[in-house]
Amino acid sequence: MNFQQAVQTCFRKYVDFSGRGARSEYWWFVLAYVIVALVAGQIHQVLYSIAVLAFLLPLLAAGARRLHDTGKSGWWLLLGLIPLVGLVLIYFMVQPSDPEPNAYGPPPVIVLAA
């Protein structure tokens, strides 16, 4: 999955907390968020706030789907609220996908760009 596909997928599924999400989908979307937030923050504080709010639900949904892909519940995202302990989420997010179907569905289909 490339950058554009990941951003489109995450915004299309912006409140879909079910199913599984590929590692590339999640990390490309995080990169898009960081770029937009940095640029918006340099322009104006109000624009930054709008960008953060626009990405809030899609980031949470993508994070939950990514955790589902590794066999964990989306509720693990709440670890991010605890300082330093939330760093465990990074470890969870970089884990490879479960190759077999799990409780959250079959493995995500990754469309490779031609």
Distance between CA atoms of residues 21 and 58, nearest Å:
12
Overall number of domains in the chain: 1
pLDDT tens for each residue of the chain, 114 residues long: 889 999 999 999 989 999 898 999 999 999 999 999 999 999 999 999 999 999 999 999 999 999 999 999 999 999 989 988 889 999 999 999 888 888 888 888 766 655
In a domain? residue 110: no
61 is a domain residue: yes
Residue 114 lies in a domain: no
Q: Where in the sequence is the domain holding 39, given as residue range(s)? A: 3-93
Residue 10 maps to a domain: yes
Structure tokens of 14?
């912006």
Determine, yes or no, domain membership for 17: yes
Question: Is 103 among the domain residues?
Answer: no
In a domain, 112, yes or no: no
Distance CA 26, CA 59 (A): 8
Q: Give me the helix-helix angle, 23-43 and 45-69, nearest 10°.
A: 170
- pLDDT at position 4 is 92
Q: Report yes or no on 50 lying in a domain.
A: yes
Q: Which of 25, 28, 12 is nearest to 68 (CA)?
A: 25
